[in-house]
A and B are shown apart, each in its own frame.
Chain A
Amino acid sequence: MKKNDLKNALKREAPFFMIMPALIWQVLFFFVPFFIILGLSFVTFYGPVIGQIVTFNYYLSLCDNAHVRIVARSLIFAVLNAIFCLICAYPVAYFLARRITRWKNFFLFFLILPFWTNMLIQIHAWFFILERNGLINTILLKLGIITTPLHLANNIGSVFLLMVYCYMPFMIMPLYSILEKLDQRLIESSYDLGANNWQTFFNVTLPLSLPGIKTGLFLVFVPSFGEFVIPALMGGSKHMFVGSLISHYFLMAFDVQKGAAFTIASGLVLLLVFVLCNWFFSKKMRTTKGPSYAAFTPESLPSDVNSGE
């Protein structure tokens, strides 16, 4: 009887045991490490004796010019990268989503491919273009525009170029998918009501694609803020970025606690930008997507709005 009770209880609680593996995995490898990092940034170890004191020294030691400059540099790079990608990607996404009719899958394939290509390969490829005797220098020398090869690789400009190159697909994809779903009837009604191309674009197309713009900006901004590979390979190790400094503290200097404090601090900077950006977009989207628009979702439009010409 008792054994049966236990069996029934186990059966009843089966869902609990089934969801546990994923939850344990997540807690163990995501939340516990987070608290370890947080703990490391506050706690001092005194030699072999386990005397631990809570301290803010690690954070205070970050408040010097060098660290602030590195965070600012990463922030500016990430913001510029996101905006630059947006400006370049929007027309392309628009063209592919709304103008191309034939060969669409072909174009899409070549859009997705860089997305799935290893970033290291992309960096390696750019050395053929930018090196002292690479493609650009060879062409310019042949044309006689320059007489000595330019130093194009391993500087801060090439880092930015590579960032734009590597993160461009992250911007194009969300823009493409939102522009593709955009209801043609809304654009046509804008024309019918007398708006010209530019008015239609700024008052209808652009506001409706804001969710895609937001996703794209985040997808580019967040990883490029913590970028570590591109500066390490293309940066000529002259300029530090947030990602390279974190890896320096943890892997080279073994100054784990300062590294932890720096990770938390730059994470807070990222969070701040994230919240600000989110607030900005939700304000924008609320003004364009008020109750008056909500009544005009594609589903609520009568289906014969197009055929009744």
Chain B
Amino acid sequence: MRQKESSISRYCLPIVTVGLYMFLYIPMIVLIIFSFNSKEYTYQWSSFSLKWYYELFDSIEIWDALKNSLIVATSSVILSSVMGVLLVFYSAHTYAKKTFLLFYGNLVVPEIVLAVGLLSFFAFFSIPLGITTLIAGHTLVGLGYVVPIVHARFLELDNRYKEASLDLGATENQTLMRVILPLLSPALFASGLLVFIISLDDFILSFFCAGATTQTLPIYIFSMMRSGATPVVSALSTLLIVISSILVLIFSSLQIKKTDMLQ
């Protein structure tokens, strides 16, 4: 027996929802439209042009920043996934099974505190800032995502798989590679994608750990915005929005597949 919907939930809820979507998307849509504007230094529309996109593709700095961003993101995904899986698998059912709790701090602490801590650490041991320090920081954040996600999935797995594999004579390493890893792969892929996009988007940590010479894409955007944004930033932003929507599509189709498999 369902009571009749009140007028509030019938009319107000959709209105609030539409309002919120408009709030979220009007600025983005205006940004995308104005990235095709031909006039510079103004927020008024004159005519359609692609010249900012041409300028974007001609810029050496942007390609360099993109290259750095991709190197950092890829290495931190690989490093944090490998280390995370090894930790989760080998610490389970041993004296160290609670160690995963250590990694929750990475997400709870505000990013600026992490960044300041890392900066002092590198300064203290006089490690020169650059791509290596960026990878160190991003991998730390990545571990904060990979370890909880993979650990949660690992706990859902039936421990009998592991026991059966060991009973049948496989070594621990073989069990990990042939049995556990394939079972963990959806969670691993999801967390890897998450770490990749977070690393690509990360600004605060990169700003502190990159030093003066290395630029990632967000640092480049930040410095451009500081010195008066040109429409090139809008063109770049539009491209990045398109890329993130593709990644979101991949990510959500992944989730759907996972739930299909469970049913």
Binding site for B on A (CB under 8 A): 14-16, 18-19, 21-23, 25-26, 29-30, 32-34, 36-37, 40, 88-89, 91-92, 94-96, 99, 105, 108-110, 112-114, 116-129, 131, 133-135, 138, 165, 168-169, 188, 191-192, 196-197, 200, 222-223, 225-226, 228-229, 233, 243, 246-247, 250-251, 256, 259-260, 263, 267, 270
Contact = CB atoms under 8 A, between A and B. Distances in A.
Interface in B134-192: 136-137, 139-140, 143, 147, 172-173
A69 B110 CA distance: 20
A25 B140 contact: yes
A33 B110 contact: no
A125 B87 CA distance: 41
Given A19-B99, A23-B87, A36-B121, A125 B110 contact: no
Given A105-B256, A116-B248, 14 more contacts: A16-B96, A19-B99, A33-B117, A33-B118, A95-B13, A117-B201, A118-B201, A118-B240, A127-B229, A135-B26, A197-B3, A223-B111, A226-B113, A243-B110
Nearest to A219: B107
Contacts of B251: 112
Given A30-B105, A126-B27, A188-B1, A25 B241 contact: no
Nearest to B10: A99
Contacts of A124: 31, 221, 225, 229, 233-234, 237
B108 A222 contact: yes
Interface in B211-232: 218, 221-222, 225-226, 229
B218 A263 contact: no
Contact of B112 (A26, A118, A243, A260): A243
A223 B3 CA distance: 41
Nearest to A26: B102
A192 B233 CA distance: 57
A246 B208 CA distance: 11
Contacts of B27: 122, 125-126, 128-129, 165
B50 interface: no
Q: How large is the interface on B (under 10, 10 to 19, 20 to 34, 35 or more residues)?
A: 35 or more
23 contacts: A15-B90, A16-B90, A19-B99, A21-B86, A22-B84, A23-B87, A25-B79, A26-B103, A29-B121, A29-B136, A36-B124, A110-B24, A127-B229, A129-B26, A165-B24, A165-B27, A168-B20, A191-B2, A197-B5, A233-B222, A247-B116, A256-B123, A263-B113
A125 B237 contact: yes
Given A37-B120, A125-B31, A22 B87 contact: yes
A259 B116 contact: yes
Contacts of B91: 15, 19
A156 B119 CA distance: 29
A222 B248 CA distance: 25
Contact of A233 (B106, B112, B117, B225): B225
Contacts of A121: 31, 221, 237, 240-241
A276 B108 CA distance: 16
Contacts of A122: 27-28
Given A29-B121, A118-B218, A134 B43 contact: yes
B60 to A, nearest CB: 21
B197 A116 contact: yes
Interface string B1-22: 1110110110011101100110
A88 B18 CA distance: 12
B143 A26 contact: yes
B13 A40 contact: no
Contacts of A15: 90-91, 94, 96, 172
Contact of B17 (A19, A32, A91, A226): A91
Nearest to A117: B244
A270 B113 CA distance: 12
A32 B12 CA distance: 52
Given A116-B244, A119-B201, A94 B120 contact: no
A286 B41 CA distance: 57
Interface string B78-102: 0100111011011100101001001
Nearest to B237: A121
B144 to A, nearest CB: 9
B43 A128 contact: yes
Nearest to B12: A91
Contacts of A228: 112, 204
A37 B117 contact: yes
Contacts of A129: 26-27, 30
Contact of B87 (A19, A30, A116, A127): A19
B137 A256 contact: no
With most chain B CB atoms within 10 A of its CB, the pick from A95, A116, A133 is A116
Interface in B223-263: 225-226, 229, 233-234, 237, 240-241, 244-245, 247-249, 251-252, 256
